[in-house]
Amino acid sequence: IRAMVVSGCGRSPPLMIAGGRVFVIPCIQQIQRISLSTLTLNVKSDKVYTRHGVPISVTGIAQVKIQGQNKEMLAAACQMFMGKSEGEIANIALETLEGHQRAIIAHLTVEEIYQDRKKFSDQVFKVASSDLVNMGIGVVSYTLKDVHDDQNYLSSLGKARTAQVQRDARIGEAQFKRDAVIREAHAMQEKISAQYKNEIEMAKAQRDYELKKAAYDVQVNTNKAESEMAYQLQVAKTKQRIEEEKMQVQVVERTQQITLQEQEITRREKELEAKVHQPAEAE
């Protein structure tokens, strides 16, 4: 893909077209082309001293291209690269990227670059993009490919990291076992507490049952005693009433006997009287 720039008679300022076709008047107008292809760059920085003075070599992979869809960037690219080959454009972009890559390495420690590659890549991408945009070039991507040194610093760092990971693993395992023992002890304590609580609740329920049963028994016995007393009282009243009725019957019978006796006496007196009067009348 190429951009075309037409200049000459009738083309002031020059006409820039990103792809497509254009009519050019021979001998009067001229056309120049500039590549819009994506360029893959192998960005190497050898033995750059980091912030703590450790030399390391870094290799990054970048993809760049001239932004033909942006008129301002295309105009800037035409001013910078018109008449230059694709290789020359790639070399200029590569030198710019390599310079920024070196500058960022110098401001970081080996540990920061080695342990957080994404952060390093983002920094290079951001700084290089802000610089290359003035040339009409856009950075499509940048990735840190390789980091190495000649003093075995990274190897030592890796061994230290491995030892740290192993140490952390042992510490983590010990903490896990400790936490497991603590959790088990807590679980046992909660189990015993729950068991004691359950036994207390059962004892409390049994006590409440016994108290309620005792109260119920008292009430039942009281009602039973009251019933028996009421029964005995009723029996006594009944017997008394029967005795009274018997006495009344006896009184009535006695009264009747007296009445009969009085009537008998009266009858005898009358008979006696009659016997006495009869002889007298006879004489």
Cβ-contact 2, 19 below 8 angstroms: yes
The tens digit of pLDDT for each residue in 6-30 reads 444 444 444 445 544 543 445 444 4
For 72, the token pair is: 């301002």
pLDDT at res. 279: 64
As beta bridge partners, residue 60 has 43, 144
Which position has the higher pLDDT, 169 or 200?
200
Phi/psi at 8 (nearest 5 deg)?
120, -160
- Measure CA 194 to chain center: 27
pLDDT at res. 12: 45
pLDDT at res. 10: 42
Across the chain, the runs of DSSP E, i.e. the strands, are 2-8, 11-18, 29-35, 39-49, 55-66, 137-148
Dist. CA 148–CA 56, nearest whole Å: 6
Report the candidate in 118, 154, 142 with the shortest Cα–Cα distance to residue 43.
142
What letter does residue 135 receive in the DSSP assignment? Answer: G
Q: How confident is the model at residue 260 (pLDDT cuts 50, 70, 90)?
A: confident
Percent of residues, the chain, with pLDDT higher than 70: 79
3-state secondary structure of 37: coil
Q: How confident is the model at residue 203 (pLDDT cuts 50, 70, 90)?
A: confident
Dist. CA 40–CA 141, nearest whole Å: 9
Dist. CA 92–CA 132, nearest whole Å: 10
Report the candidate in 43, 146, 48 with the shortest Cα–Cα distance to residue 96.
43
The tens digit of pLDDT for each residue in 38-84 reads 889 999 999 989 888 889 899 999 998 887 677 777 777 777 777 77
Helix extents (H) in 43-152: 71-81, 86-106, 110-115, 117-132
pLDDT at res. 226: 80
| Alpha-carbon torsion angle 8, 9, 11, 12, nearest 10 | 90
3-state secondary structure of 136: coil
Percent of residues, the chain, with pLDDT higher than 90: 14
Residues 6+ apart with CB under 8 A from 121: 60, 142, 143, 144
- All structural domains of the chain, each given as residue ranges with its CATH number in brackets, are 38-151 (3.30.479.30)
Q: Please report the sign of the dihedral spanned by the C-alpha atoms of residue 219, residue 222, residue 226, residue 231.
A: positive
Rg, Å, the chain Cα set: 65
pLDDT at res. 124: 92
Determine what percent of the chain falls in helix, strand and coil, rounding each to the nearest 5.
65, 20, 15
Q: What is the pTM of this model?
A: 0.48
